[in-house]
Structure 1
């Protein structure tokens, strides 16, 4: 079969930007919690409570949505990818981050954390063979440059060499996590994000108490859980949805605008002053996002036969019959078969377009 049709390339970008906005907005509020003494006694406890807020909140949402407990429905071959993502992103990444923060100034840490987007894209392109082009590379470079300008340490130096190494290790763990999560992004985003939050929350909270942390006050506890639910939970759900539609490198590039969002919120809500560095970073990031939003990637390509399940509409890639009574409501979710197909249209490296380029 051979035909040409157009799709909206911008629609898939909004979840990625939404994830960046929620995560970036959580940073100033997390700093307020640190100022109130929660992280001063145990940064592990703060990290654990933020992740627990994510895991518990998303699990509750899933129970309400499904009207009770239902199996995750994750295909057996995808469990290793999810477990690997949880291990790297939910356990090793936060642990290395805490080690890095203990041996590094805040400004230097912010600069190093911009490595996540770079390493995510490098792994996506070199290891997982995700497609790219010069426009996407330049756009991501501008976004990362904006984050680097925004977080430039201004003369501060890390206390010891272990700090930057640990932060770089954390970024590598999260880059691996992002690429592994892409492998399961067609499955239930609430389950994927909630599982990560529960595991990371339990591990870091247990470490916090094991290292002598005291139980926080009710006000600090509820604030940390709420910030975690919004900034780590819902943000991760949107991130998974963006992976499904954009691929790993592009999603990571959009998400790297989060530092700017946090800085902007600090200015608007908490009254922090701006300077030319701030607006230079804003211009760089805006240029990078524009390059991605205006991307047009189209060529003749073939789809292999595929059986999977995810939320979908009956578009050009989903022309199938139903073996059950269907009420006609879209989008809907069920296991469905894709037949071989060859056509040409504009597309991202989403769950239906993970093909090689020659």
Structure 2
């Protein structure tokens, strides 16, 4: 696997990791649940503006309306992802945080990567091998070390709620993969708007007070980059890599967050940080050196996504085309059997 292929997932992890220490600077002035709502609203509203600007200034000749629609057969997958990851997950997390220490919560949040991979491999039958599993173990172990504090781990009702939130986000990740061939910005925008409205509404109903305008604006900007742009990149990575591999790369987000924290609040890293960094680097390296190749069958397939006319996209156009690539339109894939290195992207979701 090339670094270029993995770059959307790593960029998503970097932006999300950066949002944690930046959001921490706002926790004193905004309640946790309201902050989560504003972050998601920043994501949804910011991406909605991007979609509007793209629609106004897009110079492509084909109809742009076709790019801003989710096929009806895929809408249930998207709704399930939004409800699980944007509504149930944050609610369970915020409820669990009330009776759980921050250190314990940080450790438990590492479970999301495990749940994501297990669901992808066991339920959705995504292919894997020993090297990918070892890489995932190394990354999760690094995450545990990064957030470990002696005596911090306690199994309580709050801890179980946080584990439940991780399961919701793992379900979200796997369901989002089912719609990842669609416009990544649109998907991230819809998820942000729904999650933002729900969490903000819950916070206000619980008695939270609206923050000052500067604090709200800061939360919205952090949410746009750390949640919105990050999620759009995450969807692109799902399209290219599949769920388990994307989840593994995204699990290095805490490492980026800690590095940025050291920049904002200078501190000498301890030995656990260096061990965690080494384990996560090892895990990423194991994933990058993966080579999966065998003869496989592509069934007939119809979908829309940005593409070039490579060996998987040999088709004619029923509209005027200026020859620019990549370009986006609805297209059909004829059945094809061949052999080449591949990953469980949107064109390689076959059984083994």
Fold shared by both chains (TM-score > 0.5): yes
Deviations 1:136-187, CA, capped at 9 Å, x for gaps: 00000000000000111321254x7111100100000000000000000000
| Structure 2 partner of 1:174 | 169
Secondary structure, in 3 states, of the residue corresponding to 1:345? strand
Q: Which residue of 1 aligns with 2:6?
A: 13
* Residue aligning to 1:53: 42
User: Structure 1 residues 108, 311: CA separation in 2 closer, same or farther (over 3 Å shift)?
Assistant: same
Residue ranges of structure 2 left out of the alignment (5+ in a row): 58-63
Partner of 2:178: 183
Q: CA deviation at 1:250?
A: 0.1
Partners in 2 of 1:166 and 1:65 — Cα distance? Answer: 40
- Aligned residue number for residue 81 of structure 1: 77
Counterpart of 1:3?
A: none
Which position in structure 2 is the counterpart of 1:306? 301
Q: What TM-score results when the alignment is normalised by the length of structure 2? A: 0.96
Summarize the alignment of residues 266-305 of structure 1 with structure 2, pairs less than 5 Å apart. 266-305=261-300
Measured after TM superposition, the shift of residue 70 of structure 1 is 4.4
Alignment RMSD, CA only?
A: 1.3
Contact conserved, 1:104 with 1:157, CA < 8 A, in 2? no
Say how many residue pairs are matched.
Answer: 345
Given that 1:9 and 1:347 are in contact with CA atoms closer than 8 Å, whether structure 2 keeps it comes out as no
* C-alpha deviation, 1:37, in angstroms: 2.5
The residue that corresponds to 1:28 in the other structure is 21
Match of 2:157 among 145, 159, 162: 162
Q: Name the CA distance, whole Å, in 2 between partners of 1:279 and 1:220.
A: 34
Among residues 120, 141, 150, which one is paired with 1:124 in the alignment? 120
User: 1:197-346 alignment to 2 at 5 Å?
Assistant: 197-346=192-341
Please give the alpha-carbon distance, in whole angstroms, between the structure 1 residues aligned to 2:153 and 2:122.
Answer: 32
- Give the alignment partner of residue 30 of structure 2, picking from 27, 32, 38: 38
CA contact (8 A) 2:29 2:211 kept: no
Structure 1 runs (4+) greater than 3 angstroms displaced: 68-71
SS in 2 for 1:311: strand
- Tell me, in whole angstroms, the C-alpha distance in 2 between the residues paired with 1:280 and 1:352: 37
State the alpha-carbon separation in 1 of the partners of residues 264 and 105 from structure 2: 23
TM-score by length of 1: 0.94
Aligned partners of 1:185 and 1:240 also within 8 Å: yes
Mapping for residues 71-110 of structure 1, pairs under 5 Å: 72-110=68-106
Partner-residue secondary structure (3-state), 2:248: helix
Cα distance, 1:66 vs structure 2 = 1.1
SS at match of 2:42: helix
